[in-house]
Amino acid sequence: MTGLQVTLLGTGTSTGIPVVGCSCRVCTSADPRDQRLRCAAYVVAETEAGPVHLVIDTGPDFRQQALRFGIEAVDAVLITHHHFDHVVGLDDLRPFFFRNRKPIPVYAPPDTAAVLGEMFSYIFRDGTYPGIAKLDLHEVAESWMVTSREGAGAAVEVTPIPAFHGTLPLYGYRIGRFAYLTDVSTIPEASLPLLEDLDVLVLDALRHEPHPTHFTIEEAVAMAQRIGARATYFIHMTHSLLHAETDAALPEGIHLAHDGLRLQVDGQRATVERP
């Protein structure tokens, strides 16, 4: 792999920001960085044999995100867990399937794969209704190779990072020197070696007030400093966090992400391109 381009498609908590019906200072902010779609990321891994295109989570805003940020291809989907704000856009993968009619692999933790099979039984169980996408659901437990659906032999290694969302086991994912962990309140000691030597870490940081299933800003800062990536970006924020104010108060090397943030990870350094 010669480099990764990561686009954060959404950085907001499960309601999205602005919250419907809310007139707080964040929901009415004129700063576009205070408008947050539901969390997802698009990762393009450049390899000698060509690019591999990955989407991490397909929530309710996936169609809008694909249009806004110009997603042209999807070789695989990495699902972190089965909550609404991370999976209900799966059906909007159809245009990517129709393009070459090759099944799109969807990778998920075992518990999540079982729930997805129920939630989307018409896709994963029946699979015969005309016009549906062919999505292949895979439970993963260890590192595996994702290959391009264009057939040029391009492939990239993905490593699941086991973590907990309250008591719910879920995965973050590592690709090269980039790792993405959303909706986490505990990262077990056993997972920390999988997060060594990162250029970019994207990490859940909900708000300042404690929450049973998400890191607070303060908990996320402590974990980011322990992991020690060269740069860390926080996601899944509620409307209690004004972007400019919160970002300015974070320690060096730790930033509040915003929708559309593009990160170039080339194995040596991380650069940020602000839209």
- Interface positions with Zn ion (CB under 5 A): 14, 19, 22, 24, 27, 83, 85, 183, 239
For tokens 């959303």, what's the residue? 182
SS3 content of the chain, % helix, strand, coil (to 5): 25, 35, 45
Minimal distance in Å, beta carbon 15 to Zn ion? 9
Our CA angle for 211, 217, 221, nearest 5°, is 130
Write down the least CB distance from residue 105 to Zn ion, Å.
22
User: Minimum distance from CB of 37 to Zn ion (Å)?
Assistant: 12
Residue 54 DSSP symbol? E
Q: Write the DSSP assignment of 70-85 as a string of letters.
A: T----SEEE-----HH
Minimum CB separation from Zn ion for residue 57, in Å? 8
- The pairing of strands 155-165 and 168-175 is antiparallel
Pairing of strands 76-78, 50-56: parallel
Cβ proximity to Zn ion, 61 vs 75, nearer residue: 61
CA 131 to chain centre: 27
The helix (H) or strand (E) run that includes residue 198 is: none
> Which is nearer to Zn ion, 22 or 272 (by Cβ)?
22
In the complex with Zn ion, the residue whose CB is nearer, 75 or 85, is 85
Nearer to Zn ion, 211 or 255 (CB): 211
**Helical (H) or strand (E) element with 200:** strand 200-204
Of residues 51 and 59, the one with the C-beta less far from Zn ion: 59
- Residue 214 Cβ, how far from Zn ion at the closest point, in Å? 8
Least distance (Å) from Zn ion to the CB of residue 99? Answer: 29
As measured in angstroms, the least distance from the Cβ of 211 to Zn ion is: 11
**Cα–Cα distance for residue pair 51/63, rounded to 1 Å:** 22
**Closer residue to Zn ion (CB): 81 or 149:** 81
Cis peptide bond N-terminal to 18, omega within 30: yes
Tell me whether residue 89 or residue 176 sits nearer to Zn ion (CB atom): 89
DSSP 137-179: EEE--S-EEEE-TTSS--EEEEEEEEEEETTEEEEEEEETTEE
